[in-house]
Structure formats: C-alpha cells, structure tokens
Amino acid sequence: MDYIDEAQIVEECERRDALYRLMLKRAPQESQYRDPEEGRVLCLDCEEPIPMGRLAANPKAARCIECQYDYDREVLYESRLYAA
C-alpha cells in the first residue's frame, strides 16, 4: 500500500464521520417516553427504564445506550444510502 492508497482510506473515513455527525445533528430530537405510574424515563425502543447515569450525562436521552447505538448505526446506514 502506498501513500495515495492510505490517504484515500483516511479521506473516506473522515468523510463518513463528517456525514454521520451531520445526520445525527439533523435528526429531530425525539421526546422522551415516561412511565405513567412511576415517572421514570423509558427507552423508546426496548421500553426499559433509562439508567440515571445516562440521564445525568444526557438529560434529553430518549433511548438506553444499547438502543441508541443501534439507532445511530441505522442513521449512519441511511445516510450512506442517500449520500451518493
């Protein structure tokens, strides 16, 4: 592999990262879903209570870490589908 190949790979990764960040920024902020009885914030996807630590770090979190990760990956996948 020469410098040009390497530079192309780096460029590709950076473009993908930039696109990903842009998609995340543009994704609408989803409102949280609360357990009507206990008032805890529940994950939009798995409906498990979102841990307090996660809410402390991100008070507007609408998903648990695992579901957010999957969701972000989906957004990234879509951004790549519609990028070209």
Q: Which residues bind Zn ion (CB under 5 A)?
A: 43, 45-46, 64, 67
Closer Cβ to Zn ion, 19 or 67, answer by number: 67
Q: CB of residue 76 vs Zn ion: minimum separation in angstroms?
A: 18
- In angstroms, the CA 41 to CA 32 distance is 7
Location of structure tokens 């695992």: 66
Closer Cβ to Zn ion, 52 or 83, answer by number: 52
Closer Cβ to Zn ion, 16 or 45, answer by number: 45
Please report, for residues 13, 15, 56, the alpha-carbon distance to residue 28 in angstroms, rounded to integers and kept in the order given. Answer: 25, 22, 21
